[in-house]
A and B are shown apart, each in its own frame.
Chain A
Amino acid sequence: MARHSKIHVGLEIGTSKTCIVVGEVKPDTAVKILGIGTTKTVGVRKGEIYDFPQARACLKDALVKAEDASDVEIGSVYLAITGAHIQGLNSRGTFRLPEGQSIVAPEHVEEARGIARDVHIPPDHVHIHPIIRNYLLDDLVHNGSPVGLYGKTVEADFHIVHGIGARIQNSIRLVRETPLEVDDIVFSPIATAQMALDDEQRERGALVIDIGGGTTDYALYLDGAIAASGCIPVGGDHITNDIHLVTGLAFSNSEKLKIMAGDASPDLSRSVGVAKLVDDRGYAEVEVSRSILNEIIRQRLEETLQLVYQRLPQDSVKAIGAGIFLTGGTSLMRGFSELAFQVFERDIYRPEPPEISGVQASFKDPQYATAIGLIRYAQILETERATPPGLFGKVSRLFWPFGK
């Protein structure tokens, strides 16, 4: 266990912005954000990099800003990755104790874990995280390891996140060329959830939806363990694109309209009148009926939320007790929480846009949720690595080296 404070750096190369957060983890596990470096990303679409030189330039820019702000020389980072190719699935490994043995031994648990992890993923995919959810001993749920207990069948429930190896490797390569070392890669919604949810909320059941520029990532926690995670390649860019396609406005104007006038609320009274963009001289440059503008936005976001809903395990939404936590830049859209409530019919928590700028304020800004969550993730990982092996059950997640 780290006895002195330790500095972790989280890096998220998002569709709209590249963000580096430098955080200090104190010996008492408190996290202090030292600095944030952020820059607009070019060359990333739907969470995946398509233009490496440009993305690299953006990363360098953000790195310089972060080092300036935090006065720390950054050597290695935790990298958040996302993309439509990344999927989470639950797998259960069952191991029946050999004849004549009735006490669960560590190797039996290991075997069950091995079977659970050994899911058939497409050949070009690699495991990103295998996260132990819980164990079952003769159909009875055990949160901790069942080693030493009497039983017949040991089962291990895993949540396994996997994605296309080559794309993940390319993201890592980009960071290494900067040059920065990659401590670990983390699937974005899992990092976000570290920041957005506390243990109690996870126990009661919570869904985190991180709706960013290019992707919508979600992670569902039930009974303290992750139950589902995934990524839908739709985000704020799509709204802009929709406005552009339907109204024929230029991208820049579409984006401005979306931010200035857009409203996703299902409430029709908010869609009265005309939305205008005024140019420098005070003349109306662009005019669009609010009913159309809001309808475009609402349909896009409603569809996205519906997609998330459909991908969650059946009846799991009813089991959400704590509520649904919306983060990500697009969650700042007006009326979004009403819309989310209409879709999920659960309590909706939506971060408010920060009133003031500055380091302290960024805690509240949903745009930085993932990068800050990475610091939390790093901290949890650090504690886990320090615990002696064999205590797997105590720690709720386990790190599995990438590529294995």
Chain B
Amino acid sequence: MIPYHRTPQPTLPSSAVKIVGLGGAGVNMLERVALDGTEGAELLALNTDVRTLTGCVAGEKIQLGRDLTKGLGAGGDPELGHQAMLEAEAEVRDSLRGRKIVFLCIGLGGGTGSGGAPILTRIAREEGAFVVVFATMPFAFEGRRRREQAETTLNELAVLANALVTFDNNRMGELVLAKQGIHEAFAAADHMICESIKAVIRLVVRPGLINIGLDDLMSALRTNRSRCLFGSGIAKGKDRAASALRNALASPLLDQGALLKAAQTVLVHLCGGEDLTLYEVELLMQRLQKFVPESAHVLFGAVVDPTMGDNLSVTLISALPEDSLAAAPRQLSHATENPSTEAAAESPLPTPTAQPKPRRILSADSSAPSLFGEETPITQPTAPASVQAEFRSAGPVPVEEPSSAAVSVPPADMDSLPEEDSYDVTPGSNDSASATTPPAAAAPAVGLDEPSEPEAPKLKLGVKSLTPQNELSFDSTPRGRFEGQSPNVVDGEDLDLPPFLRKKK
């Protein structure tokens, strides 16, 4: 065989991808993305409200409507948000210049997000980027007005954006138990969105064995006025294919896979370590067939990523027309269940009303630490612990002290973190982890064949056997009565050989 080098599939440089959070909810999502560790993407936070910006961990921040709102929010008025965005257009354009892909995270229904998103999308498109919009729809209890504002913006975005992924906050309620805190609910919702952003980035940026690209993503999401169905699951160990799929289907956006029944196109993306087997893929896809209609177009992609270790991750993306997702009766009960939490619920959303400022500081304060505190179990092992500690300290401090010094500190930390650092650290740490295992596993396997040869003479001394020594020919590792049978190998050890000889070494 003539060895030749194959140029690896070109990957997008990290500088080509930008994740933009717009408005209060968008910045929250962005923060979650930053905390969970992004694989090579720049983060940009945009908001009218300067306080949420100072508290944000994103590497790049632009204040919108500096003269218009003077550091306050847009007060739930899309028109203000619209104007504010126009004011900062040049700055935003500079920041988005030369990006290949822009992910835009917004919470619809408020002022900044709803008003600014269409313009931002247009700017990004004009700069030649492929724009994927992740939008959350407001809760049912937030009222018709906000819903209508959200729908208007959504209609505009449907035309402007290349791909539109919509999440319904009403469905997010299923992510957590009824008695869990509201901040946990929002943390879970943000986490969910963040997972899907990361999954899409992974999908687009990482070259696959069976590749899936933006074109597949677009066709999976190509239904007008659609809601995104998204599920992502990760599992390891025995039966990991089945459990990964089960985890993916457990996503509330999929309703145990019941919603996939109506899907026309389903994108399935598998990512596993080097031990990913065809059998596992086959098993997983066969299981999935049960949930997907036969006529559906299944877009399948698989990636082997050594940093996954023995994990296997499954991502399902699909879209349904909005009307087929008639609001479940559950949501109403949810709304009536805790009307008192409504006010608190608004704070993480992009609903910057003018008056209740002090309260919002408090709620931001109280929710921020718990957000971070709850962070530890959720974060992927890729984020180094020190990073989290840094975040934890950097996060709440600037909220209270919006001085320029505090503002400038986090970016200095951040710059190194989400972009290159986490990207470099990830494979490194995993490599060392995986590097320790193979030798351990290989050692007994190697020792398996060898021990008999050097061991033989020693053993003969210990045994007062009258049988002639030439019968003790250990050179070819005799197996006695099991000679000539198929080897009985378990975990790299031939069980037909005496443990007495195998274990000596």
Contacts and interface: CB of A to CB of B under 8 A. Distances in A.
A247 B463 contact: yes
B480 A251 contact: yes
A312 to B, nearest CB: 12
13 contacts: A232-B495, A234-B495, A238-B495, A238-B498, A246-B463, A247-B463, A247-B465, A248-B467, A248-B469, A249-B467, A288-B464, A300-B499, A303-B503
Given A233-B488, A234-B495, A288 B481 contact: no
B287 interface: yes
A299 interface: yes
B236 interface: no
Contacts of B286: 120
Interface string A234-247: 10011011101111
B479 interface: yes
A192 interface: no
Nearest to B470: A248
A255 to B, nearest CB: 11
Nearest to B462: A292
A289 B500 contact: no
A286 interface: yes
A238 B283 contact: no
Interface in B461-485: 462-467, 469, 471-472, 478-482, 485
A296 interface: yes
Contact of A245 (B255, B495, B498): B498
A288 B479 CA distance: 20
Nearest to B495: A234
Interface string B258-269: 100000000000
B258 A300 contact: no
A338 interface: no
Nearest to A234: B495
Contact of B500 (A94, A115, A237, A299): A299
Contact of A246 (B283, B287, B482, B500): B500
A113 interface: no
A49 to B, nearest CB: 13
B335 interface: no
A260 interface: no
A241 B482 contact: yes
A288 B463 contact: yes
Given A45-B482, A244-B481, 20 more contacts: A233-B488, A237-B481, A241-B479, A241-B482, A241-B498, A242-B500, A244-B480, A245-B480, A245-B497, A246-B500, A248-B460, A248-B469, A249-B467, A288-B463, A288-B465, A289-B463, A289-B464, A292-B462, A300-B498, A300-B499
A289 B482 contact: no
A300 B478 CA distance: 17
B490 A307 contact: yes
Contact of B498 (A45, A46, A153, A242): A242
B97 interface: no
A299 B463 contact: no
Interface in A106-161: 115, 120, 153
Interface string A211-247: 0000000000000000000001110011011101111
A286 B498 CA distance: 20
A274 interface: yes
A45 B465 contact: no
A158 B62 CA distance: 57
A241 B497 CA distance: 8
B322 to A, nearest CB: 18
A246 B501 contact: yes
B168 to A, nearest CB: 17
A241 B498 CA distance: 8
B459 interface: yes
B105 to A, nearest CB: 31
B467 A245 contact: no
B256 interface: yes
Interface in B271-295: 282-283, 286-287, 290
A307 B287 CA distance: 30
Contacts of A245: 478-480, 497-498, 501
B496 interface: yes
A96 B258 contact: yes
A232 B287 CA distance: 29
Contact of B495 (A153, A233, A286): A233
Interface string A33-76: 00000000000011000000000000000000000000000000
Nearest to B465: A248
State the 7 A-B residue pairs at the shortest beta-carbon distance, nearest first: A242-B498, A299-B499, A241-B480, A120-B283, A296-B500, A303-B499, A247-B463
B471 A248 contact: yes
A248 B481 contact: no
Contacts of B488: 46, 84, 233-234
Nearest to B326: A99
